[in-house]
Amino acid sequence: MKFGRRTVLGAATALATMSLAFAAQAQETIKVGILHSLSGTMAISETTLKDVMLMLIEEQNKKGGVLGKQLEAVVVDPASDWPLFAEKARELIAGNDVSAVFGCWTSVSRKSVLPVFEELNSILFYPVQYEGEESQRNVFYTGAAPNQQAIPAVDYLMNEEGVERWVLAGTDYVYPRTTNKILEAYLKAKGVAEEDIMINYTPFGHSDWQTIVSDIKAFGAAGKKTAVVSTINGDANVPFYKELGNQGVAATDIPVVAFSVGEEELAGLDTEPLIGHLAAWNYFMSADTDANAEFIEAWKAFAGEDRVTNDPMEAHYIGFNMWVKAVEAAGTTDPDAVIDSLIGVAVPNLTGGYSAMMPNHHITKPVLVGEIQGDGQFETVWETPGLVAGDAWSDHLPESAPLISDWRAPMSCGNFNTETGKCGGQGS
């Protein structure tokens, strides 16, 4: 069979038209990046955050999307490999042209991607409690700063439980080390002697806790009420709590208050020996509000009846809804316009009331302390009377106390020194 020149030209024109149509169709979606570990030591915590983002995007699409366009999730797996986070972030922004990224858990992964977001001028929503000492223009921190979790938890233990000796146990990376530096300074300012503070760090994925738990027991046998403040992260929590149970460390003897153990982590544990141990968060699945009931119902319908919710999921819920509201207010997904629009945005949280984005790119949150129950849920035993604004720079570290963050013009600075009157740069 022979093809004439007109036939070939016609076919070429048709192909070109189809290509343009496909390109136009592709532009009709707004891409949203999801940057969470789906394998490796942090998968126990991060996989559920990928899932909740898929649910939120699906629900928003049912409402008509954003700016009249459907949202398209782009999921990558940085595999608990901190340098790989930067590579995957670049892939999302430069390769897939996402409008914003929701992701990271550990501070070392967040630190890894900061230069990428600054260079490519994209937006990261970071949903996990962290050590503070940072305020970046391209990052919005929807998890707790130390004054929204660590400091109130210590106050609770000191004032309500009468704790006098302190074990600061953490995974060996930036978040536990900086948080414990803040807590150590805070405890000493409260009159706690240095010999009443024990600090211990273990690597990611640490599994042999026998000696460390024995040391904690010995430290707690000095006749003073002792507590463990835990910044242990990831799957190392499973053998840590098992060993507490094996050695009979009950909450009535040495309570543990955890900053990285929520409902998701407890789902993989025998909770019987852990009843009465504590966690400090800004949300618990047990929160008795209409908004939370609706969220749980939607989550179980999406992910399965056996799935639980937790604090970083609520942080993504808040951050995603803030992003949607800011994009619609700006009328565009242009990063500069959205960054400016995000400050001052307020959306409902799941514990009651509204959380607002502050000029330092941190949000307002309630602080809750909860006791572990036999069913893997938490019973709230203490909470702040209102919402607490996240503080990017700790008042308890001399080098940070003079610093403030305000990304509104004319300051537009993440670490303005009130003593020198100068901005120190981007803010990390």
The answer as to whether 230 is a domain residue is no
Q: Looking at the domain assignment, is residue 169 inside a domain? A: no
- HEC string of 4-51 equals CHHHHHHHHHHHHHHHHHHHHHHHCEEEEEEECCCCCCCHHHHHHHHH
Alpha helices, DSSP H only, in 247-334? 263-266, 290-303, 311-330
In this prediction, residue 270 has a pLDDT band, given cuts at 50, 70 and 90, of confident
| DSSP class of 106 | S
8 Å CB contact between 231 and 171: yes
Query: pLDDT confidence of 7, banded at 50, 70, 90?
Result: very low
Which domain range does residue 61 map to? 30-144+289-365
Q: Rounded to 10 degrees, what is the CA torsion of 366, 256, 181, 311? A: -30
Q: What is the pLDDT of residues 337-381, one digit of tens each?
A: 999 999 999 999 999 999 999 999 999 999 999 999 999 999 999
How confident is the prediction for the chain on average, in pLDDT? 92
pLDDT range class, residue 416, cuts 50, 70, 90: very high
Mean pLDDT to the nearest integer, 282-290: 97
Distance CA(254)–CA(257), nearest Å, equals 10
- pLDDT of 129 higher than 70: yes
Q: Which residue has the tokens 């939120």?
A: 56
1-15, 214-228, 397-411: range with lowest mean pLDDT = 1-15
Residue 74 domain-assigned (yes or no): yes
Q: Quick check: is 12 in a domain?
A: no
Pairwise pLDDT comparison (105 vs 273), residue with the higher score: 105
pLDDT at 426 over 60: no
For residue 42, give the CATH number of its domain.
3.40.50.2300
| Of the candidate ranges 26-30, 73-77, 89-93, the one whose mean pLDDT is the lowest | 26-30
Distances (CA, A) of 174 to 108, 133, 179, 246, 250: 6, 11, 8, 30, 29
Q: Establish if 325 belongs to a structural domain.
A: yes
Within-domain flag for 45: yes
In terms of phi and psi (left: phi > 0; alpha: psi -120 to 50; beta: otherwise), the region of 64 is left
Confidence of residue 315 (pLDDT cuts 50, 70, 90): very high
**398 occurs within a structural domain:** no
pLDDT at 267: 86
Which residue type is seen at 244?
L
Contact 229, 168 (CB under 8 A): yes
CA distances in angstroms from 128 to 159, 361, 371, listed in the order given: 26, 14, 20
The count of domains in the chain is 1
The CA R_g of the chain, rounded to the nearest whole Å, is: 23
Is the pLDDT confidence value at 1 over 60?
no
**CA separation, residue 223 to residues 165, 218, 219 (Å):** 9, 10, 9
Residue 411 lies in a domain: no
205 Cβ contact partners less than 8 Å away, ≥ 6 residues apart: 41, 234, 235, 236
